[in-house]
Each structure stands twice: as structure tokens, then as C-alpha cells.
Amino acid sequence: MNKKQLFLMVMVLVGGVMSPILTAHAQDDLQTTLDTLTTAYQNAAALQSYAAQWDGTTSESTQLSEGDNLYIVSTQITSAQTAQIEGANTSSSVTQTVTQGQIVVTKPLVEGAALPEPTLASQLELKASLVSIDGRVFINLDETAPEYRAGLPEGWQEVRDGVALGVNGTVSLTDVAASLDNVRMDATSVLALLNPTVVKSAEALPDDELNGQAMKRYLLTLNLAEAMTALGQDASALLGDLELSDEAVSALLSGATYTVEVWVGADDQTVYRHVITLNLNSELDGKSFGSDLGGATVKISHNQSDTLTLSELNADFEIRVPAMDEVVG
């Protein structure tokens, strides 16, 4: 055996020894980060009160290609909400804009040409004030333009279980409760995700500053299918009424990018901000839907980003039942 062969043999042996060692170190580092974030989320859950700012953006696009014909439907939802939270009580204001557009192309596109962008038209512009106190929920939509209020009454209204407001039942307790959940730090759900089965990787990002306070930052990359299992959800939570084959659902979830970026106070080990981002992009054929679709193909794009920021931790807030004739704005 010459020196070159001996050297190669030694390198192979060293590589075989080092590989499991490096893997073990990576797993240890991941678990250490998850333990740090678990503590930070538990500290956030223990807060008695805080102010919150939630910003959410969702963009969806569906493209159906059939021969020379191309149909595109795009929807964008932009939401913002501020709140004061004390115990189980919440006082908040929320704005939401929903725009949608569609376009039909009936002649071949030039190869390499960019797809046309549908012009998005407003479908809803909502501005509401919400109060949840002692198990009772109130809403005021006076600042929403009349054309979007669908016959909703003026002034503060109590939203009761099983009784929807508006001539078309546009506002229900379920809708309002879901909106109020956006501004609450749902540590229980996040903690369910903080395990090595769900988290594919964890990265420490450069330190940051938030409202004058030093922050540690972390970026988690999650396995979407495992995350949904951990949260007790299935694909219908993402696909709605869209019915796909099991193989198509698996491909859609495996190709998704799902991340959580977290800001943790360097001094108090409490979560002050997290940004949850989900990107789904997939091209499906007729087999995905259980039929041939006449040879058509469908491209689905779903991009969602939600940012929750906490401030004024453990401050004293006065949250009260609103007077029915109280003016908003």
C-alpha cells in the first residue's frame, strides 16, 4: 500500500468517525436553541398585560393553463391591529383591506415573457374597534365606509354567540374572536412547534435592538407537514375547499418554506416579536385533482407573513365595557 492509498484510507476512517460526532453536536445546538426559546415563550405567556401590534399580509394566486388560454386569479389581504391586553381582556382597533383581480389571456405568450399582472380592485376595506371584557365581546364599525358595512348598525354592538350582526350575517362571534386572537401571544401553539421533529434548523442571527432594548434573534426553519400535525391540523387548514390527491398534498407541503424569526430580550429572556412566514408554490396537473382537467395545469401560490410585536410589558391598562352611544374616531 503506497502513501496515497494509506492517506485516503485514513481520511475515510476519520470521516466515518467525525460524521456522527458533528451530527450529534448539531442536534445538541438545536436542542439548546429550542430550550432557550421555550423559556422565552413561557415568560411571554406569564405576562399579566402588554401592548401588541400585529401586521399580516397574505397573497394568493391561482393560474389555470389550458392550451393557449391562461386564467389568473389573485387575492391580497393586508391587515393591521393594535391592542392593549390585560389578563383575558382586550381592547383593540383593526384595519383590513381585501383586493382581488383576475385576467384571461387567450393567445400564446411570447416565450420567456413575464406573465401579465391582474389589476387588483378593492373588495373590502374594514376598520373596527373591538373590546373583549369579562367574557363579553363588543364591536364598533362606524369608521368603516358605508358601502362595506352590509347593513351593520351604528355604534357599539355586543356580539353574542349564535347571533350574527348585519342583514347578511356578516359579523359573527367566531370572526371577532379570531381577530382578537391575532394580537395575543399564543405561546401554547408555538411551544408545540419547538421540538426537533418539527424544526429542521435553528440559526442565531445578529443581535438587534427593539424599542431601545437589546435583542437576541433566532431563525427557525420548520417542516410544514410536521408542524400541522403538532398543531392538530390537516391540509384543509391551508387548502380550504380545494380537493387534491394525497400525493399532491404531500408534494405541496414538502415544497413549502415555513419559518419563524424570533426576537428575545437579552436581559429578561422574553419574546418581544416573532415573524411567521409561509410560502407555498406548486404546479399541479389533472391527476392531482383526480381527473384529467382536459390537459390543463394549475399553479398555486400562497405567501403569508404575520408579525406580532409586544411592548409596555406589565403596564396598567384600563379596559372597560364601552357605552353604547360612545363615539369612535
Residue 143 in grid coordinates: 369608521
Residue 324 in grid coordinates: 353604547
What order of strands is seen across the sheet that includes strand 257-265?
157-158, 136-140, 121-133, 89-105, 69-86, 49-66, 297-311, 271-284, 257-265, 213-222, 199-210
Please give the pLDDT value at position 320: 93
Report the alpha-carbon distance of residue 151 to residue 167 in Å, rounded. 6
Please give the pLDDT value at position 44: 95
Please give the pLDDT value at position 247: 74
Query: Which residue is associated with the grid cell 404531500?
Result: 250
Report the alpha-carbon distance of residue 270 to residue 172 in Å, rounded. 34
Report the alpha-carbon distance of residue 34 to residue 39 in Å, rounded. 9
Please give the pLDDT value at position 10: 45
Please give the pLDDT value at position 8: 47
Query: Which residue is associated with the grid cell 436553541?
Result: 33
- What 287-295 contacts at long range (C-beta under 8 Å, 24+ apart), as own/partner pairs, is 287/245, 287/247, 287/248, 288/244, 288/245, 288/247, 288/248, 289/243, 289/244, 289/245, 289/248, 290/243, 290/245, 293/66, 294/66, 295/66, 295/67
First to last CA, the chain: 87
Contact yes or no for 230/195 (Cβ under 8 A): yes
Please give the pLDDT value at position 153: 76
| Measured CA distances, 46 to 14, 52, 85, 88, 307 (Å) | 48, 15, 13, 12, 20
Contact yes or no for 150/168 (Cβ under 8 A): yes
Please give the pLDDT value at position 264: 97
| pLDDT, block means (10 residues), the chain with 329 residues | 50 50 57 95 95 94 78 90 94 90 72 73 85 90 81 81 61 73 86 93 95 96 91 72 70 84 97 94 66 66 93 94 75
Residue 37 in grid coordinates: 426559546
Please give the pLDDT value at position 286: 58
Phi and psi based region of residue 114 (left: phi greater than 0; alpha: psi -120 to 50; beta: remaining)? beta
Q: Report the predicted TM-score, pTM, of the whole model to 2 decimal places.
A: 0.82
